[in-house]
Chains A and B, each alone.
Chain A
Amino acid sequence: MSYIAISPWLIGFAVFFAFPLLFSIVLSFLKWSFNGSTFIWLDNYKEALFNDGDFWYSLGVTLGYGAISIPFTILFSFLLSLLINQKVKGIGFFRMVYFLPVVAASDVVVAKIGPEIFSRMVNVNVTLESFGIQLSQNMQNFISLFSTMLTLGLWRVGIQMLIFLAGLQSIDPQVYEAAEIDGASWWKSLWSITIPLLGPFTIINIVFTVIESFTNVFTIARVLAQGRSVTPFFMDYVYRLSFEEYRLGYGAAVSWIFLIIVISVVLLVYYYSQRYLIPTQRGE
């Protein structure tokens, strides 16, 4: 009986996950076309790794974007969660507002209102110019895309914020009371109580943000560029290869390399954050 209950997932997993995944491995060994394909085995991979400048460029940009956006996102959502964890009147309203962009502003909406509005709020190019740094048009475009995406990302940290909030609320208030009696300042208890006890939540958040920032930036970048200018993000590169140039075999190979990279980054992050963020039970 219980197998019937999970059967939708079993079927879905086989048809919509396992099969496509295996199929894409096979595809990545093929020189693919709609009227017949030939096996070329690892040639797609060799091509990508050794001969494709665009591949390395988009990979670098995407990893760089992740490296910048992930710490910012975590820090920002943590600060926000501290803010909305306060027990004051009307806090429900503020929580509602802070989470609003996640629900209301879809990727396309964000991409449409983004450039105009966020460039009013944060304009890196103007700032750089005021420091006397002149950049080429290409570089300026790149920077405005990059900074817009970062701001847009920070605008929609609602999920991470709520995860941290759930963490903060899981901490027993008595711990803080005890610390206060012992004379610990707010700052001190933040460092020695809040952050260590939030460890598991921070890990979930980091893993979530890693996945998000590597895979989901695609849409915004795609709409921002509107197919006209080429965005340097990796997923957009795969999209162009596959659905504009119809090099599906090569696209599959490239996306497999990316998949392996994403999984290794997630595992690394998981491993290291577990080592440093979970308080070890020394002295027990």
Chain B
Amino acid sequence: MQLKSSSFLYKVRKVIPKIILYLLLIDGAFIFLYPLMRSAITSVMTVEDYLDPSVNWIPNKLNFKNYIDVLEPMGFFNALSNTVKMTLFCVLGQTLSSALVGYGLSRGKIPGKEIIMMLILATLVIPPQTLMIPYYILYHKLNLLDSLNVFIIPSFFSSGIYAPLCIFLFRQVFNTLPTELEDAAIIDGADFFRCFWYIYLPLSRTAVITVGLFTFVWYWNEYARGIIFFNNIRTLPIALSLLFSTGPEFMGFGYTNVVTYPMMMAAVMLTMLPCLILYLFTQRYYLTAIEQVGIKG
């Protein structure tokens, strides 16, 4: 009897922290998902449902018309094709160039490559806006303003968004691969670039995918530079930011027209959906990115 009750107590003492832990985790998950769930729900609401305070989570009527109605004012297909074009080219450029540079800094015989790596990382500290003004004048003179090239060209010269982090990741990953591979290949007659292309790049497939995926998200969501360099070109974030921007003031934020709000949420969902789907299928690459870098203080 004595034994039984104590084992029961033991169980309780083991289970209670678990329950608390799960409650906390679920609570957190709710907080993180709430804004997204809210906008997803609102995007399928009719305006009446949106304004009806008794409708909270379950709309009276599912209204997918918002998604169709918003395509036109947003210029959706034009913006989508621009975004896709820009993103794919930039992913290609950034991944290739940072892999190559990372390889050079890991395996190349360059004096002071540690210092170069530090220098590359240090460029992150410079607020990008300091460089915006010269860029603007430079692109103006080169007649590059208002073309997707303002993003695509730098990405091939490892000067894209967060390129230093990509270079760093590649360097770290290449550093962990054994040098014997290279020595063996060189004896077999392979040169520096063949080693890179046929041995090291395939071996660091995970890093390639990780960099590609992050770059995809960064460029898909790019706004701050685009709004400066583009006058007529619309990418999805820019189109979204300009959508219904002539509503009445709301809490000093100067928009949110209640009539168009559900449509706005539909536009938000459309903009976000590709990244969301991509993330759901490839989340392990995102979540292990930091481990791949392998920071050791």
Contacts and interface: CB of A to CB of B under 8 A. Distances in A.
Partners in one complex: yes
Interface in A38-91: 80, 83-84, 86, 88, 91
A227 to B, nearest CB: 8
A235 B227 CA distance: 14
Interface in A142-167: 142, 144-145, 155, 159, 162-163, 165-167
Contacts of B205: none
Given A116-B256, A218-B224, A266-B125, A80 B28 contact: yes
Given A80-B28, A259-B130, A104 B223 contact: no
A166 B290 contact: yes
B51 to A, nearest CB: 13
B100 A103 contact: no
Interface stretch (A107-115, A175-183, A187-195): A107-115
A23 B283 CA distance: 41
SS of B interface (majority) = helix
A107 B237 contact: yes
Interface residues of B, number: 96
Interface string A224-266: 1111110000010011001100001001100110110011001
A94 interface: yes
A11 B108 contact: no
Nearest to A198: B297
A102 B276 CA distance: 10
Contact of A108 (B21, B97, B221): B221
Contacts of B132: 239, 242
SS of A interface (majority) = helix
Interface string A1-18: 111111011011101110
Contact of B97 (A8, A21, A96, A155): A8
B132 to A, nearest CB: 7
A27 B223 contact: no
Contacts of B136: 242-243, 248
Interface string B147-175: 00000001011110001000100000000
B35 A155 contact: yes
A106 interface: yes
Contact of A9 (B97, B267, B279): B97
Contacts of B124: 211
B116 to A, nearest CB: 7
Contacts of A34: 140
Nearest to B29: A97
A155 B35 CA distance: 9
Contacts of B255: 226, 228
Given A16-B154, A88-B22, A155-B32, A113 B39 contact: yes
Given A6-B104, A12-B159, A83-B24, A1 B272 contact: no
Contacts of B252: 137, 140-142, 144-145, 229
Interface string B64-99: 000000000000000000000000000000000100
Interface string B264-297: 1101100110011011100100110111000111
Contacts of B140: 34
Give the size range of A's interface with the partner.
Answer: 35 or more
Interface centre among B32, B34, B192 (most CB of A within 10 A): B32
A162 B292 CA distance: 12
Contacts of B21: 83, 86, 88
Nearest to B252: A141
Contacts of A114: 35
B297 to A, nearest CB: 3
A200 B293 CA distance: 14
B125 A105 contact: no
A24 B33 CA distance: 42
Contact of A242 (B133, B220, B221, B289): B133
B192 A1 contact: yes
12 contacts: A9-B97, A13-B123, A23-B138, A88-B25, A96-B280, A100-B276, A112-B267, A200-B297, A235-B129, A239-B228, A255-B133, A259-B127
Q: Which 5 A-B pairs have the closest CB atoms?
A: A2-B108, A141-B252, A5-B104, A200-B297, A12-B157
Interface of B: 18, 21-22, 24-25, 28-29, 31-36, 38-39, 97, 100-101, 103-105, 107-110, 116, 120, 123-138, 140, 154, 156-159, 163, 167, 191-193, 196, 217, 220-221, 223-224, 227-228, 237-238, 240-241, 245, 249-256, 261, 264-265, 267-268, 271-272, 275-276, 278-280, 283, 286-287, 289-291, 295-297
Interface of A: 1-6, 8-9, 11-13, 15-17, 19-21, 23-24, 27, 34, 80, 83-84, 86, 88, 91, 93-101, 103-109, 111-119, 121, 137, 140-142, 144-145, 155, 159, 162-163, 165-167, 169-170, 199-201, 204, 211, 214-215, 218-219, 222-229, 235, 238-239, 242-243, 248, 251-252, 255-256, 258-259, 262-263, 266, 278
